[in-house]
């Protein structure tokens, strides 16, 4: 059920991120959500796109270092404490994660949280067991149509 995320390693150089987005724009591919993490001399541009394998191939042929990663996309109540509820469930079972980012309010009235847990399948099972809706790639795409 995991969603594939595209991670691109980008030099901290003026215009380099724009080169990536230009490739996607030229191909008519939307970026559903993204995050950019700054490191010494480079950044990691993470994004959820409708066609991750296609984007991976396109960017690699243009010389970018790209990796596909399985992440969890989970609907979180768009209320005070909604994200906290998610973290409480994970903490109770001692499931750690490396990073998280979100897609704001969707037509469901909930936010979509993208989570990279150490144990993807275990996190998905636990979240579902606790009443969270974990999205497949297809279900995630449907939220944006």
- Kindly state the helix (H) or strand (E) to which residue 43 belongs, with its residue range: strand 42-48
Backbone φ and ψ for 140, nearest 5 degrees, come out as -65, -45
Q: Is residue 145 pLDDT above 80, yes or no? A: no
What pLDDT does residue 44 have?
A: 95
pLDDT in tens, 17-64: 999 999 999 999 999 999 999 877 889 999 999 999 999 999 999 999
Q: Which CATH number is correct for 71-142, 2.40.290.10, 2.130.10.10, 3.30.2130.10, 3.40.140.10?
A: 3.30.2130.10
pTM: 0.91
- Which pLDDT band holds residue 109 (cuts at 50, 70, 90)? confident
CATH top-level class for 3-68?
A: alpha beta
What pLDDT does residue 60 have?
A: 98
CA nearest to 58, candidates 34, 21, 25, 23: 23
What pLDDT does residue 105 have?
A: 64
Q: Is residue 106 pLDDT above 80, yes or no? A: no
Checking phi first, is residue 28 left (phi over 0); if not, alpha (psi -120 to 50) or beta? Answer: left
Do domains 3-68 and 71-142 share one topology? The answer is: yes
Q: Tokens 């993490």 label which residue?
A: 37
Average pLDDT over the chain, rounded to an integer: 92
Domain regions of the chain by residue span: 3-68, 71-142
Which residues touch 62 (CB under 8 Å, ≥6 apart)? 19, 23
**Cβ neighbours around 75 below 10 Å, total:** 22
């Amino acid at each position: 059920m995991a969603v594939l995320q595209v991670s691109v390693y980008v030099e901290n150089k003026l215009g380099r991120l724009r080169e990536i987005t230009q490739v996607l724009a030229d191909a008519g591919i939307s970026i559903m959500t993204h995050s950019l993490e700054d490191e010494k001399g480079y950044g990691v541009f993470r994004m959820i796109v409708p066609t991750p394998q296609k984007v991976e191939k396109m960017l690699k042929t243009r010389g970018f270092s790209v990796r596909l990663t399985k992440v969890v996309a989970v609907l979180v109540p768009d209320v005070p404490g909604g994200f906290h509820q998610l973290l409480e469930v994970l903490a109770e079972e001692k499931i750690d994660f490396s990073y998280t980012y979100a897609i704001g309010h969707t037509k469901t009235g909930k936010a979509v949280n993208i989570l990279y847990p150490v144990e993807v399948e275990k996190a998905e099972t636990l979240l579902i067991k606790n009443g969270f809706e974990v999205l497949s790639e297809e279900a995630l795409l449907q939220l944006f149509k």
